[in-house]
Amino acid sequence: MSHKILVLGATGNVGQPLVQTLLRQGQQVKAASRSAKPVAGAESVVFDYARPETFPAAFEGVDRAYVMLPTGYVNSKELLLPVIQAAAERHVKVVFQSAFGVDADDSIPYRQVEIALEKSGTPFVILRPNWFSDNFHTFWKAGIDHGQIAVPAAEGQSSFIDVRDIAESAAAALTTNRFDGQAFNLTGPEAVSYAKAAQILSEVICKPIAYTPIDDQTFIGMLIGAGVPGDYASFLASIFHPVREGWTAAVTDHVQLLTGKPPRSLATYVREHATALRQA
């Protein structure tokens, strides 16, 4: 009988807390990644978006799947559409991690993946998280170590979301059919500028952190200098346009709707990751 939940990107930012949440709820989880890194309590399985021959074993015994694209890939349609198709062929329910705001324009590749899922005939839920709070201890950590966050956000605000709230929303979407056929825009409880985020960080980790707004070209050059491939650096710069326009400042109650709990604030995230954020 098929009753297992396949979690793609299981050892990543969202995947890790999602697997833990599902295991706490007593679900049977297949934790998928290229390395099939063991996750206590789950069944680890090899999965590679670029190697469709890994799909059948990953989907074996599965009736629900969390589908997301790991950081660093720009060819979202090419990698995600075959996974959606493989799920639909097996009538596996898909909870798809998309991105905030992609529904603004049907030509956006992530929106095209959403549309393919909507038309696939398999049960689905779409989650569109805003910018992750957790980027401060991943993407922006090297800058924080040097006392500076430099991004092309101008004074734009974002309702940053904690990955734990994405994971808990995903667990709710995976474990009930109440939310099937719907899309949810996941945000934190308030919109915060990068200047305000730098101030919160400075106060909590007791170290001065400045925010320096920069232009796209400076940002791309900085990322390439840090080893990020050019196409991904350009992609990252492009997604700051909605921030400057104020579109990522919207706040929704969708985490509360899915989980029954309010989302964590950026200040809560910073307090609870203070040790990691402080470590050079």
Ligand X SMILES: NC(=O)c1ccc[n+]([C@@H]2O[C@H](COP(=O)([O-])OP(=O)(O)OC[C@H]3O[C@@H](n4cnc5c(N)ncnc54)[C@H](OP(=O)(O)O)[C@@H]3O)[C@@H](O)[C@H]2O)c1
Which of 49/178 has CB closer to ligand X? 49
- At which residue do the structure tokens 């929106």 appear? 111
Question: What is the rounded CA–CA span in Å between residue 83 and residue 67?
Answer: 8
Strands 157-158 and 192-193, how do they pair?
antiparallel
The CB density around residue 230, as the number of other CB atoms within 10 Å, is: 10
> Tokens standing for 93?
């329910």
For the bound state, the minimum distance from the C-beta of residue 1 to ligand X, rounded and expressed in Å, comes to: 26
For the bound state, the minimum distance from the C-beta of residue 110 to ligand X, rounded and expressed in Å, comes to: 7
Q: Which residues bind ligand X (CB under 6 A)?
A: 9-15, 33-35, 37, 47-50, 68-71, 97, 99-100, 129, 131-132, 135
Question: What is the rounded CA–CA span in Å between residue 22 and residue 6?
Answer: 11
Residue type for position 225: G
Cβ atoms of residues 107 and 164 within 8 Å: no
Which of 9/156 has CB closer to ligand X? 9
- At which residue do the structure tokens 């993946």 appear? 113
- At which residue do the structure tokens 């400076």 appear? 218
Question: What is the rounded CA–CA span in Å between residue 146 and residue 102?
Answer: 33
Which of 13/259 has CB closer to ligand X? 13
Which of 7/172 has CB closer to ligand X? 7
The CB density around residue 41, as the number of other CB atoms within 10 Å, is: 14
Please identify the residue of the shown chain whose CB is closest to the bound ligand X. 12
Question: What is the rounded CA–CA span in Å between residue 239 and residue 22?
Answer: 31
Which of 131/219 has CB closer to ligand X? 131
Which of 34/271 has CB closer to ligand X? 34
